[in-house]
Structure 1
Amino acid sequence: MTVATSQKLPLDWTTIIYFSLIHLVALLAFLPGNFSWQAVGVFLLFHWITGGIGITLGFHRLVSHRSFEVPKWLEYFLIFCGTLACQGGPIDWIGLHRIHHKHSDHTPDPHDSNKGFWWSHIGWMLFEIPARSDIDRYIKDIKDDPFYNFCQKYMVLIQVALGLALYAWGDAWVGNGWSFVIWGIFLRLAVVFHCTWFVNSATHKFGYKSHESNDHSKNCWWVALVTYGEGWHNNHHAYQYSARHGLNWWEIDMTWMTIRFLQALGLAKNIRLAPAK
């Protein structure tokens, strides 16, 4: 983040406090009394449900880019899973992502990588950026949908309900409900945050380019590993509409495998793909 950027924009203290609290409470996971393999399992399960199924499959490939179609009930389920990632409601997330692709690595881009790794990773969310006032132009297909608006409005309460359920589960299973809350809510949120943010930051700095995309997007294997295939970012920016991001045989794309599975079940159709080589 550049000094000029921080001087021009007012700080978003609600977001700063929100992120700070989540990261601070997440550190409690490393206290011995809060560790159990069951809690680790809960962490991994909800990392996949919220980061992989919700954000990557639902928010990103299904709705932001309309790379494929599913029945409305399944779309709503995926949006609900993405809401559990607490990265902002689906309307804001999808709108900002579409703005990013419209202006990738140029001034209107919310997380323009030209402003530095820190800015594109987290800094842009800590300020009241102009792009937020432009979201409505980019979400005309979802802004009046009652379910999307419910998730947008009640994101935090939905997370609280999950926390209560995890507390009861942990208390019944390992006699420590708080361990499941700490690992399944706070640590999971913090880790999924950074996994998602690496797509904005690391994949515009590290890796290789396979296609001309008119921006700094790159294919980064380790980001693909922690984001279920989102790290093949240069491929994605070159063919934004494609449901498949890993275009070469070595570019493992777990989300594409999930889409193929849904297709085999008859739940995914009209799948859009990059042209074959």
Structure 2
Amino acid sequence: MPSRLINWQVQFFGREWDFMDLYHLTLFLGVPFLCLLAPFQFTWGALWVAISLYLVSGMGVTISYHRNLAHQSFKVPKWLEYSLAYCAVLSLQGSPLEWVSTHRYHHQFTEKLRDPHSPNKGFWFSHLNWLFDYHSRFGSYDGQLMKNVGDLECQLYYRFLHYTYFLHSVLLGVALYVAGGLPFVIWGMVKFHFTILFWVFITTKVQTFLHWIE
């Protein structure tokens, strides 16, 4: 993402919101409403597109972001590593640098104030609000964003995905429209992304309650 967008901020609801905060908030609030169009745009091809994208992006997050990049559990050839990371980008859960940094900080400062989704900051923050507070997650680490992902940031590919992150969903939408018109866009983008958001909601719900009852 260009630095001018990273530094751009607007104030409302008693806090400052940057571009990524508003981007994720718009997706979280807007996509479920657009899903209301899905029954009127149903085709079997569109359904299979949605299922395929869900599986591809979901496995990308699990295999690439989580196990390969964040925890470095295994190594694969670079072409496969980069391909899996790109699949994860399509899930709209953040760029590789952002996702991996958040997860590494979470394990480094689990349930402490510097945990990116610390339960010490309140139930709703640890459950959902952290998703819409970019600088709260990264701004407290000596003023440096994502300084714990130097192993990824030194690679041009991951810097490219980070600075162009939100454009890839736009390109996916255009490709789906060319391939199958509005049904592919509604089911391949909106319905698929709603499923991802629902999965994120359930995942964070489980994590939140487990941390609160410990």
Interval containing the TM-score (normalised by the shorter chain): 0.7 to 0.9
2:43 matches 1:33: no
- Paired with 1:110 and 1:13, the residues of 2 have a C-alpha distance of 18
Structure-2 change in CA distance of 1:99 and 1:198 (3 Å): farther
Name the SS of the counterpart of 1:11 in structure 2.
strand
Higher helix fraction: Structure 1 or Structure 2? 2
Q: Does 1:156 align with 2:166?
A: yes
Residue identity opposite 1:43 in structure 2: A
Instruction: Give 3-state SS (helix, strand or coil) of 1:136's partner.
Output: coil
Residue of structure 2 in register with 1:243 after alignment: none
Change (3 A) 1:30 1:39: farther
C-alpha displacement at 1:193, in angstroms?
2.9
Structure 2: distance between partners of 1:75 and 1:198: 27
Distance 1:47 1:198 in 2: 15
Q: After superposition, what is the alpha-carbon deviation per residue over 1:99-153, rounded to whole angstroms, capped at 9, x for unaligned?
A: 0111111111111134444322320122344431334331011111011011111
Q: CA deviation at 1:217?
A: 8.5
**What is residue 113 of structure 1 aligned with on the other side?**
119
- Higher RCO, 1 or 2 (CA under 8 Å, sep at least 6)? 2
3-state SS of the aligned residue for 2:168?
Answer: helix
The CA distance in 2 between the partners of 1:106 and 1:49, in whole Å, is 33
| Aligned-residue CA RMSD (Å) | 2.6
1:191 to 190, 195, 200: 195
* CA contact 2:34–2:190 (8 Å) conserved in 1: no
Question: Is 2:64 aligned against 1:64?
Answer: no
C-alpha distance in 1, partners of 2:162/2:23? 19
Choose which of 131, 141, 146 in structure 1 pairs with 2:156: 146
Unpaired stretches in structure 2, ≥5 consecutive residues:
1-12
Of 124-133 and 95-104, more deviation after overlay is shown by 124-133
Contact 1:64-1:97 within 8 A present in 2 as well: yes
Is the CA contact (8 Å cut-off) linking 1:117 and 1:202 kept in structure 2? Answer: no
- Within 5 Å, which residues of 2 pair with 1:22-101? 23-31=29-37, 32-51=39-58, 53-101=59-107
**What is the match of residue 4 of structure 2?**
none
What is the deviation of 1:187? 2.6
Distance 2:115 2:68 in 1: 21
- Give the residue type in structure 1 aligned to 2:62: T
